[in-house]
Amino acid sequence: MIGAMTSQDTQRTDAPGRLLRRRTSDRVIGGVAGGLGDYFNVDPLLIRIGFVGLMLFGGAGVVLYLIAWLFVPAEGQDVSFVDGLLRRIGLTTGRVITIAVVLVVFLLLINSWK
């Protein structure tokens, strides 16, 4: 039938999307800049320079680097350090988000009473 769409027409046939992973080889410190460079197809040196530049403004580069190191899985792994830790103690990401929202609301309520 001309003009009719089949399920094959609507299915994606391209390669699966890229995954953000920290490098385990050819890295300088934790592989974060190399992984970001691979993901965004940018020279990792430029990303390292960006992290150093952010360190000059209140240490934001160090904080962002540490957050990325904790939350971005390494090559060959499916979960990050934080995800693995949460799974070991029996928490899911949804539960952590719920706990965080409740804590923020609680802190805002306490702060508003002062």
On whether both 54 and 103 belong to a single domain, the answer is no
Residue type, position 29, single letter = I
Residue-number span of the structural domain to which 59 is assigned: 18-78
Phi and psi at 45, nearest 5°, equal: -60, -40
User: In terms of Cα–Cα distance, which of 14, 9, 22, 18 is closest to 69?
Assistant: 22
Count how many domains the chain has: 2
> Can you say whether the dihedral through the CA atoms of 67, 27, 37, 52 is positive or negative?
positive
Tokens of 47: 């990303």
Q: Which of 67, 30, 33 is nearest to 52 (CA)?
A: 33
Shared domain for 29 and 52, answered yes or no, is: yes
Residue by residue, pLDDT tens for the chain (114 residues) are 455 544 444 444 444 678 899 988 878 888 999 999 999 999 999 999 999 999 998 888 999 999 999 989 999 888 888 888 888 888 877 888 888 899 999 999 988 876
The whole-model pTM stands at 0.66
